[in-house]
Amino acid sequence: MARLGKAISGGVRSRAAWAIGVLCMGGFSAHAEFAAGRALPPERDAHVAVVAGAIATVDGSVKETSRALYEVTGRSSLQGRREDYDLGDFGMDGGYPTFGLQVERAWKYWTLDCRLMYLAMDTAAVARRDYYIGVDGVSFRGREYEYMQIPAGRAFTADFTGLMLDVRGLITPCSWHTRDGGLVVTPWISLGGFLAGGTYEIDAGPASGLVTYQNPPETFVVGGAADGLVGAGLPELGLGGELRLGRAGERHLVVRGDYAICRYNGDTDLITTADHRNKEIDFDHVNVRLSGGLEWPLSGGSAISTGVQFQYIRTEAEIVSDADTPAAIRAARERFDKDVAFEMTILAAYLGYRF
């Protein structure tokens, strides 16, 4: 699964751009006509669908890179203490079921598109080395701590349950169609937001003690159970389009593509209120959705829809200390700068009703 995910991610950006380009340009032919806004039958301007599928691949990593404090204090040899973690360390690589709901309401010049997916991932693994992780809270002898150590060789379980929400407004200024109406191509610009969040639980057996780690030192509970909340949200800007093949009253083939991005370089005070943790962040986020299916007309003009869809999400971030002078670096005592990466592919089928 992990190799499949890397193969998909390597070419997905170029393939998505090509596919969306075909959607947006397919209507330019000798027999095409221009129309303002989106061309949908009045009986089919709303769509509700249920979705079921799987998280085919999931991969994520946090890699410590360098620590400025070691450089300004003449201890460069300590850079070798950096740690790397990825989801493979926790036995997660994909194959998790998922399901959701999609709702769309179209008007002439814009469309509201909402997609909600339920995610559930769990694993049972054995620590390959000592894992030092931050948590919302882990208890030992009646006291709460914010850090947990899972010792090498310790069996543990980890579970995540959450939701992923895509909300987009599609601006549809025009469309192209053949004179007989059998082919309609509608391009759009999308503005929206991507939200993901949920709860996690980690169980590494009974808490058996405390250890001190890191500099400045922090206290870690050895083993124990922890749970908490995690979440993130990003705005997105994208391009997309729809190709609809089929005359009025007949079965329609519908192919859609969306390519949305979010890029940011600046201070993390936009996402945290803890001033002492402010850092500089540079991230690049991509969200690609492709789908293809059929619509069977019903009496009255409505239709039953069914098809398959693919979604690819990738987020990469570089997080570095914002201290820029030796004095500021010594005062902040920031820990390692980090590179963070996450990517996921979802394959699913849908069944819906267009009315």
What is the structure's pLDDT at 247?
85
pLDDT tens column, 10-38: 454 555 445 444 444 444 444 678 889 99
Mean pLDDT of 222-241: 92
pLDDT tens column, 114-166: 999 999 999 999 999 999 988 988 999 999 999 999 999 999 999 999 999 99
Q: How far is CA 231 from the centre of its chain?
A: 11
Q: How far is it, in rounded angstroms, from Cα 158 to Cα 125?
A: 8
* CB 145 within 8 Å of CB 199: no
The token pair at 129 is 């080395």
Q: How far is it, in rounded angstroms, from Cα 147 to Cα 200?
A: 15
Confidence of residue 292 (pLDDT cuts 50, 70, 90): very high
Q: Is residue 335 predicted with pLDDT exceeding 90?
A: no
* CB 195 within 8 Å of CB 162: no
The more confident residue out of 81 and 10 is 81
Mean pLDDT of 304-319: 96
Q: How far is CA 131 from CA 2, 89, 103, 162, 293, in A?
A: 22, 9, 42, 24, 45
* CB 87 within 8 Å of CB 112: no
Q: Is residue 275 predicted with pLDDT exceeding 80?
A: no
What is the structure's pLDDT at 175?
93
What is the structure's pLDDT at 278?
66
**Which residues on neighbouring strands pair with residue 192, listed in sequence order?**
168, 236
What is the structure's pLDDT at 277?
58
The more confident residue out of 323 and 196 is 196
Q: How far is CA 270 from CA 51, 264, 281, in A?
A: 34, 11, 10
Maximum distance among all alpha carbons in the chain? Answer: 79
pTM of the model: 0.84
In degrees, rounded to 5, the angle at the alpha carbon of residue 219 between the alpha carbons of residues 214 and 223 is 110
* CB 160 within 8 Å of CB 118: no
pLDDT tens column, 232-266: 889 999 999 999 998 878 899 999 999 999 998 88
**321 phi and psi, to 5 degrees?**
-65, 145
Q: How far is it, in rounded angstroms, from Cα 249 to Cα 251?
A: 7
Q: Which amino acid is at 27?
A: G
Total Cβ atoms within 10 A of residue 7: 11
Mean pLDDT of 262-285: 73
Q: Is residue 6 predicted with pLDDT exceeding 50?
A: no
* CB 187 within 8 Å of CB 239: yes
Mean pLDDT of 311-326: 89
Q: How far is it, in rounded angstroms, from Cα 319 to Cα 162?
A: 25
Confidence of residue 350 (pLDDT cuts 50, 70, 90): very high
What is the structure's pLDDT at 294?
97
What is the structure's pLDDT at 26?
45
Mean pLDDT estimate for the chain: 86
Q: How far is it, in rounded angstroms, from Cα 22 to Cα 10?
A: 20
Mean pLDDT of 318-342: 85
